[in-house]
Structure 1
Amino acid sequence: MLYSHTRLEVFYHYERIAIHIRDKAAYGYTTDKTHLVSSHRFVSEWTPERFLEWAESIGDDVKMYIQGILERKQHPEQAYRSCSGILSFQKKVGSERLAKACGRALSYGIYSYKTVQTILANRMDEYQDSPFADELPMPEHGNIRGEEYYK
């Protein structure tokens, strides 16, 4: 491998096999798509707009959740695997469950693949409100004084 301020040359058995222009911009990418393996070429065609359109076709909560994931990464490409994984749940659980799971995850304010996976695995998407203790009725028991005692 040889490199200068403006380019990078890659050699194999003393034969040059690739030349790349160098970009000095911080966090910049200079990928030549023709040099990518076919599976990477497929991934390189992903865009934020593509994920948002796919999510919107499932539901508004899914679109908002995917948008939240994309916005929280410095580079959108860093979020593509999470987005792809979340949207692939549609095949496993259906659009309705995925939309409800994303709606629940939005209420938590936590944007990750793992959050949606946990909600679906524990079937937390199947009930609307979270069953917190203050929402449950007070049980009847002789040792519980009740609200009248404190008035």
Structure 2
Amino acid sequence: MLKGRNYSRKLQFEEIERQTLAPLPVLRYQFKKHFYARVIKNGHVNLGPDKHYYSVPYRFIGKRVKLLYSRTIVEIYSNYERIALHPREKNPYGYTTDKEHMASAHRFKSDWTPDMFLNWAASIHEDVRLYILQILERKQHPEQAYKSCLGVLGFAKKAGNDRLIMACQRGLSYGLYSYKTIQTILENKMDNYEESIFADELPMPDHGNIREKTITNNHLKQQ
């Protein structure tokens, strides 16, 4: 019994306090951090600590948003409105995409379209167009490939059309289609190698399916 009262603490709890209690959360509390970034033209935003991209609705392209992330989830906010929710992924330069966020799902035309990149590539050379087409076709949503396409075509200005054409031809022969492939070919001047002379010693671009730094002629294709 409570001192000076004719009821106990337990009785007070049962009759008054218990009914005000809410159920315990189903999930354990997770500490959250925040990160600010701008939505790029392919409709994704980069979570800097993981270097991973997450989609947001296309109408937020160009806007600065807040990413609130925990160990397992990533929430994206614009002006205190949650505009996207994704499971957290930590593979660098990968994409997590909700198809409903993509401009193509809503038949929305932006400055960046597959045709724009293909026409730009075709103005340089047919092999450059074929390389860009391979990049676009390997993504579930074309918007995911826009940044890679822009990077590859940007080498025309940095390295010149002729070197870019040779690099794309070599990339096509390897069966490796990415910005990183073309960057590696150009940085290592592999576009100038004579295939017949150097094929057995040719350093390959980094790729998850290739284990050795140098490979023989038999492996000059994606495994």
TM over 0.5: yes
Counterpart pick for 1:81 among 147, 168, 179: 147
Larger strand percent: 2
In structure 2, the partner of 1:38 is none
CA, structure 1 residues 122+29, in 2 after alignment: closer, same or farther (shift >3 Å)?
same
Counterpart pick for 2:188 among 117, 122, 125: 122
* 1:72 partnered with 2:175: no
Q: Give the 4+ runs in structure 1 shifted more than 6 A.
A: none
* 1:94 partnered with 2:152: no
Asked if structure 1 preserves the Cα contact closer than 8 Å seen for 2:127 and 2:168, the reply is yes
In structure 2, the partner of 1:132 is 199
Q: TM-score, normalised to structure 2's length?
A: 0.42
SS in 2 for 1:28: helix
Q: Which has the larger radius of gyration?
A: 2
Amino acid at match of 1:132: A
Give the count of matched residue pairs.
104
Within 5 Å, which residues of 2 pair with 1:1-151? 27-29=99-101, 44-129=110-195, 131-133=198-200
CA, structure 1 residues 87+30, in 2 after alignment: closer, same or farther (shift >3 Å)?
closer
Amino acid at match of 1:27: K
Percentage identity across paired residues of the two chains: 55
Amino acid at match of 1:72: R
C-alpha separation in 1, matches of 2:111 and 2:124: 21
Offset from partner CA, 1:69-98 (integer Å, 9 cap, x none): 000000000000000000000111110100
C-alpha RMSD of matched pairs (Å)? 2.9
C-alpha separation in 2, matches of 1:100 and 1:128: 11
SS in 1 for 2:99: coil
SS in 2 for 1:110: coil
C-alpha separation in 1, matches of 2:178 and 2:172: 10
Larger helix percent: 1
SS in 1 for 2:139: coil
Structure 1 unmatched ranges of 5 or more: 1-9, 21-25, 32-43, 135-151
CA, structure 1 residues 29+94, in 2 after alignment: closer, same or farther (shift >3 Å)?
same
Aligned-residue offset at 1:11:
9.3
In structure 1, the partner of 2:39 is none
Aligned-residue offset at 1:127:
2.4
Amino acid at match of 1:70: L
Aligned-residue offset at 1:124:
0.6
Q: TM-score, normalised to structure 1's length?
A: 0.61
